[in-house]
Amino acid sequence: MSVEGWLADTRASYDVVAVSYADLLRNFLDETPYERATLALFAGFVRAAGGGPVVDVGCGSGRITGHLHELGVDAFGMDLSPGMIEVARRDHPGLRFEVGSMTDLNLAESSVAGLVAWYSLIHIPDDQVGSVFAHFRRVMRPGSPLLLSFHVGDGSRLKTQGYGGHPMKVYVHRRQPVQMAAWLQEGGFTVEAQMTLTSAESSLGGIIFARRES
């Protein structure tokens, strides 16, 4: 499928489920202490480096953006789905949210002090991950932190229903941490730490901390 094709399917699918998605995932962080700890560590890295804007790419309903804001980070969210952005603005008034794609980030070079992609790379095909990481690197300041989370495993599956039983048409790609780390290193990032865990977020999730090389 072409890039335009799977992007259109992903956008349309999340437009349909936006309200249900927000309702179902709103309190997930209350049930995931390890994920909260990783977000707090990331926020600490940003503050220690002097702060600055941080982008939550694939922000969905804005729950991670809002949590980072509570941690003292100048976070804003970006998502492919206009429906998700509408819900994010409703649920987090006063925070910045905009429609955009990680495949073509509409942000200035070296403009953000950190970047989070929280289970948002899961719909990106393998052959597009390198291009996405190139966009991440372009918009991040040298030395700034990157936090990724993803589903661990092998292969892909077509998701046709989700978040309240609404129809969807998205491929969910699972990856091994070693592959994600290799792609990051090829893309000009230094991998600093990684872990796997089981929680409400994922039956087996991966988390990677990396930094944009100078």
pLDDT tens by residue, 101-137: 999 999 999 999 999 999 999 999 999 999 999 999 9
- Given this model, what pLDDT does residue 100 score? 97
Q: What is the C-alpha R_g of the chain?
A: 16
129-182: pLDDT as tens digits: 999 999 999 999 999 999 999 999 999 999 998 888 889 999 999 999 999 999
Helices 82-91 and 3-25: crossing angle in degrees, nearest 10, is 30
- Given this model, what pLDDT does residue 163 score? 87
Bridge partners, residue 70, by sequence? none
Q: Under a CB-based contact definition with an 8 Å cutoff, are residues 211 and 187 in contact? A: no
70-107: pLDDT as tens digits: 999 999 999 999 999 999 999 999 999 999 999 999 99
Bridge partners, residue 78, by sequence? 57, 98
Q: Under a CB-based contact definition with an 8 Å cutoff, are residues 111 and 79 in contact? A: no
- Given this model, what pLDDT does residue 1 score? 61
Q: Under a CB-based contact definition with an 8 Å cutoff, are residues 124 and 105 in contact? A: no
12-54: pLDDT as tens digits: 999 999 999 999 999 999 999 999 999 999 999 999 999 999 9
| Residue 214 pLDDT grade (very low, low, confident, very high; cuts 50, 70, 90) | confident
Place of tokens 């990106």: 124
For the beta sheet containing 189-197, the strands, ordered from the edge strand earlier in sequence to the opposite edge, are 97-99, 74-79, 53-57, 114-118, 145-151, 205-212, 189-197
- Given this model, what pLDDT does residue 200 score? 87
CATH code: domain of residue 12: 3.40.50.150
- Given this model, what pLDDT does residue 49 score? 94
- Residue 109's domain comprises 3-212
- Given this model, what pLDDT does residue 56 score? 98
Structure tokens at 135: 């966009």
| Residue 2 pLDDT grade (very low, low, confident, very high; cuts 50, 70, 90) | confident
Total domains present in the chain: 1
